Amino acid sequence: MQGDITGLLAGRRGHFLMESGYHSEMWFELESLFERQEQLKPFISELAKRLASHGADAVCGPMTGGAKLAKLISAELGIEYFFAERFERPKTNGFFPVSYVVSRALRESVRGKSVAIVDDAISAGSAVRGTYTDLLACNARPVALGALFVFGDAAARFAQEKGLALEGIRQLSLGIWKPVDCPLCKMGLVVEEVVASRYRGRALKESGSKTINFSEPVGAD
């Protein structure tokens, strides 16, 4: 595999509220990633090969980017593909307030399978955590997490806690904090809620954030 997948990644520095409830210094633009499938293909093949070594006989991804990746990996490996739909819980406070649920039509099919959970990117891990929880409710057996990008170390901690393998094509550092500990809040910077933009098609507020093209490996320190 040649090249660096970070050349396909763009992000913005600023002060962002993530789906998980944590704050971050970066927001990564992932929506257009799968429009560049020829460039992405060798990285998907590499991730599929790594996940195959963990004995998965199915792959499941949270909507939307994870589901797209899961479908491509399932085609690469010739295994079954599942996806988890996103459901907001409006009255839920605290961290990880969003649920991810395998649809009723697929729940019986995933029962008993060894499943690799994949997402385009994992940072705090809201989507893969939700997918993991619902796969257990389906009596499936998650065996691995996989992502094109792994930001920070939360995914590694979660994988270790749950006894899962973790495979990521590119690891990048990322500052994420609980709101009470967020240094950007302490500096008085306005927080930008971008989660709704990603899933409902709302325009992103600019808030003075800077666009960055990751043509070279760049952390988010």
Query: 26-40, 174-188, 196-210: which range is least confident on average?
Result: 196-210
| Range among 31-35, 112-116, 174-178, 217-221 with highest mean pLDDT value | 112-116
Planar angle of CA 87, 162, 29, nearest 5 degrees: 45
User: With contact defined as beta carbons under 8 Å apart, do 149 and 9 qualify?
Assistant: yes
Tell whether the model's pLDDT for residue 32 goes beyond 60: yes
The more confidently predicted of residues 74 and 90 is 74
* Separation CA 78–CA 221 (nearest Å): 39
DSSP 205: P
Mean pLDDT of 181-191: 93
193: which residues sit within 8 A by CB, 6+ positions away?
A: 16, 17
Query: 107-111, 139-143, 173-177: which range is least confident on average?
Result: 173-177
The more confidently predicted of residues 194 and 51 is 51
* Separation CA 166–CA 159 (nearest Å): 6
Query: 48-52, 122-126, 195-199: which range is least confident on average?
Result: 195-199
List the domains of the chain with CATH numbers.
5-212 (3.40.50.2020)
C-alpha distances in Å from residue 80, one per residue of 36, 58, 73, 75, 170: 24, 5, 9, 8, 25
C-alpha distances in Å from residue 121, one per residue of 65, 82, 207: 8, 18, 24
Residue 97: what pLDDT? 72
Two structure tokens written together for 49: 């090969």
Please provide the size of the chain in residues: 221
pTM for the complete prediction? 0.83
DSSP assignment of 64-118: THHHHHHHHHHHHHT-EEEEEEEEE-TT--SS--EEEEE-HHHHHHHTT-EEEEE
Residue from 219, 3, 7, 2 nearest 123 by CA: 219
User: With contact defined as beta carbons under 8 Å apart, do 179 and 23 qualify?
Assistant: yes
Tell whether the model's pLDDT for residue 196 goes beyond 70: no
Tell whether the model's pLDDT for residue 121 goes beyond 70: yes
* 47, 51, 53, 55: CA torsion to nearest 10: -160
Tell whether the model's pLDDT for residue 132 goes beyond 50: yes
Residue 211: what pLDDT? 37
* Separation CA 212–CA 221 (nearest Å): 14
